[in-house]
A and B are shown apart, each in its own frame.
Chain A
Amino acid sequence: MEYVIHIGIFVCIYYLLATSLDLVAGHTGLLSFAHASFFAIGAYVSAIIGIRLGAPFIVGAIVAAVSAGLLSVLVSGPSLRLRGDYFILVTFAFQMIVFGVLNNWIEVTGGALGVSGILQPEIGGFKIDSHLGYFLLAAGTACAGHCVVWRLVGSPFGRVLRAIREDEGLAQAWGKNPFRFKVTAFVVSAMMAAVAGTLYAHYITYIDPSSFTVTESILIIAMVVIGGAGSSWGPLIGAVVLVTLPELLRFVGLPSSVAANLRQIIYGGLLVTMMLFRPRGLVGKYAFSH
């Protein structure tokens, strides 16, 4: 049962990541490879604040989200004026730079050794030290995240995002400033990814750069693409499928290195298959057609 709860916690964390990426990639049409970097920033900032400054969990989460938000403005601000594939490249480069910093800035991030001994969260006097307790925290946060995205996406703000995705020039002709909307969406998604990072760091209590590589960004993209971009259920289905699939492989009894490669082969295969035969994913509404 503990195992199922453990899976559940990861589904919640990855749902937060997938749905926030869907906000920018699915609804606004901005494919971003930087999502794992905001996930990382959330994890590292909240971990370091917690350990070095003794800050409580909630404070760490807020600072992490704000840091990610500020960095996302720094990244997206100048680069959202570029054409589509060049913006994608900037996010890709940013992801690689963040990874490089995490791996090499040993004084702050511990380099490849990472940060260990992250404390389990304590909220309002309640110490969360059981798997079930953490699951409730993660699920609660995931629901909150879902509500945020749901409200944004269903609101006029969301409609403008989709208008920008379909035809930016037309949206601009109707008096909307696409740049401001795109940056806002990007910042919100980065902050949500950082919150997911906080959850991850305080659950595993140890983080190192290898969990936050560009492969991780690709995994999150895969969740959005396979589940279906631009829809409410797509990211959830994507997160559930891509989190539980490798666990199923575990039961087949393969050695772990084989399983790791096989898992990636399945992700990659699904990505190609989806793009060829069902680009809108399982339940998505957007087929990356622009």
Chain B
Amino acid sequence: MPMQVIINSLIAGSEYALIAIGFSLVFRITQFFFIAYGAVYTAGGYIAYVGVAVLGISPWVAIPAAVLLAGALGTTIDVVVHRRLRRRKASPATHLIASLGVLVVLQNSISLIFGDATIGFRAGVVREGWFVFGARITPVQVVTVAVGLLVPVIIWLCLHRSRWGRMVRAVASDSELASVHGIPCGRIISGVFLLSSSLAACSAILAAYDTDLTPAMGFSAVLMAIIAVIVGGSDSHAGAIVGAYFVGAVEHVVGWSFSTQWQEPLLFCTLIAFLLLRPSGILGRRPARGGT
């Protein structure tokens, strides 16, 4: 198999790893699919665009600002929509539908303001990139791979070596028991939304430097995140990472062996195959069986 396919799989996997772990954080603590994650992802990219390309602020300032603002957006979605639903003990389906509504509103708002055309804020000359073992890789892609490998480690450290992380894991494990112990579940969950949305924005900005911005980019991203989390195993964040690299590999191997048109349908076939045959994913332990 050509080195380029391997390198591309690695790059795609790293991109998805970042997205997947953000998604997994919310999924594990709230047990619902935070579809609006796609909207926060897109918003992060576009806020950075406004900062860098429209307002002319230095990327060193605009990017962290965009990440924080996207995080704030995610937290707002949680507080305004999902916290209220949680108080009513709403079902996961209700959360899903509400999240879907939020995604539709935000994505179309972005489309309304910025149009549907692809826009970018890449500065400077389009660089050719370097040759590594006979395959081409650009500087942005190198950063993506590095971030994709580094961030999961940082997240793991946050979750397992800090007091906050311990509280997050407690709420994820049993929120009622955690609140009995005095852990402020609402605020912890909002904090997770903040972290997750910030990660989404980071990922979007990296993607924007690689392939520019479109309003629908977040929707594709959240779909990849869902596939990665399910395929890799929804029980753990490691599963999300493994799933992400698996998805990246499948995507590029399929693209190289057949054609790029069939990448997406085949990825969804993979998702169905895992859901039917191994719902707990590659790394999962508990099989998810039973009725509604």
Say which one of B49-57, B65-73, B238-246, B267-275 lies at the interface with A. Answer: B267-275
- Nearest chain-A residue to B259 (Cβ)? A104
Whether the Cβ atoms of B116 and A97 lie closer than 8 Å is: no
Determine if B289 is an interface residue (Cβ-Cβ < 8 Å): yes
A interface residues with partner B (beta carbon < 8 Å): 29-31, 78-79, 81-90, 93-94, 96-97, 100-101, 103-104, 168-169, 172, 178, 218, 221, 225, 257-258, 261-262, 264-265, 267-273, 275-276, 279, 287-290
User: By the criterion CB–CB under 8 Å, are B264 and A96 in contact?
Assistant: yes
Q: Which of B91, B261, B271, B279 contacts A288 (CB 8 A)?
A: B91
Give the Cβ gap from B137 to chain A, nearest Cβ, in Å: 29
Asked if residues A265 and B105 are in contact (CB atoms below 8 Å), the reply is yes
Q: How distant is the Cα of A94 from the Cα of B103 in the complex, in angstroms?
A: 21
A275 and B97 within 8 A (CB):
yes
Choose from A88, A93, A100 the contact partner of B93 (Cβ within 8 Å).
Answer: A88
Partner of A267, one of B104, B223, B279: B104
Residue pair A275, B98 in contact (C-beta under 8 Å): yes
Given contacts A81-B289, A90-B275, contact A288 B104 (CB under 8 A): no
Can you offer 5 A-B residue contacts whose CB atoms are under 8 A?
A82-B289, A93-B275, A96-B268, A100-B261, A269-B105
Residues of A within 8 A of B98 (CB): 271-272, 275-276
A246 to chain B, nearest CB (A): 13
Pair B262/A93 contact, Cβ less than 8 Å? no
B33 at the interface (CB under 8 A from A): yes
Q: Which of A30, A100, A104, A261 has the most CB of B within 10 A?
A: A261
Over the window 174-188 of chain B, the binary record of Cβ atoms lying under 8 Å from chain A Cβ atoms (1 yes, 0 no) is 000000000000000
Closest to B115 in A: A257
| Residues of chain B within 8 A of A97, CB atoms compared | 265, 268-269, 272
Contact B100 A218 (CB under 8 A): yes
Residues of A within 8 A of B100 (CB): 218, 221, 268, 271
Query: A83 contacts which chain B residues (CB < 8 A)?
Result: 288-292
A275 contacts B101, C-beta separation under 8 Å = yes
The distance in angstroms between the C-alpha atoms of A247 and B90, with both chains bound, is 34
Which residues of chain B have a CB within 8 Å of any CB of chain A? 32-33, 81, 84-85, 90-94, 96-98, 100-105, 107-109, 111-112, 115-116, 223, 226, 230, 261-262, 264-265, 268-269, 271-272, 275-276, 279, 288-292
In the complex, the answer to whether A94 meets B272 with C-beta atoms within 8 Å is yes
Question: B32: which A residues are within 8 A, CB to CB?
Answer: 85
Q: Which of A264, A272, A287, A288 has the most CB of B within 10 A?
A: A272
The answer to whether B81 and A272 touch across the interface, beta carbons within 8 angstroms, is: yes
Do A261 and B292 form a contact, CB below 8 Å, given A89-B226, A275-B94?
no
CB of A47, distance to nearest CB on chain B (Å): 21
Asked if A268 contacts B84 (CB within 8 A), the reply is: no
Could you say which of B84, B112, B115, B262 has the most chain A C-beta atoms within 10 Å of its C-beta?
A: B112
Q: How far is the CB of B51 from chain A (nearest CB, A)?
A: 23
Given contacts A221-B100, A265-B112, A271-B97, 4 further A-B contacts (CB under 8 A): A89-B275, A96-B265, A262-B112, A267-B101
Known interface pairs A84-B292, A86-B288; A268-B265 also in contact (CB < 8 Å): no
**A104 close to B265 (CB less than 8 A):** yes
A90 touches B276 (CB 8 A): yes
Smallest distance from the beta carbon of A123 to chain B beta carbons, Å?
36
A134 and B265 alpha carbons, distance in the complex (Å): 35
Contacts of B97 in A (CB 8 A): 31, 221, 225, 271, 275, 288
Checking B116, B271, B292 against A89 with a beta-carbon cut-off of 8 angstroms, the contacting residue is: B271
| Contact between chains at B91 and A290 (CB < 8 Å) | yes
B82, chain A: closest CB distance, angstroms: 10
A89 to chain B, nearest CB (A): 6
Hey, which chain B residues are within 8 Å of A168, CB to CB? 291-292
Contact A90 B288, beta carbon cutoff 8 Å:
no
What residues of B have a CB within 8 angstroms of the CB of A79 in the complex? 272, 275-276
Contact A85 B105, CB 8 Å, known A79-B276, A225-B97, A258-B112:
no
Which residues of chain B have C-beta atoms less than 8 A from A287's C-beta?
94
In angstroms, Cα B85 to Cα A31, docked, is 18
Bound-complex Cα distance A276 to B100 (A): 13
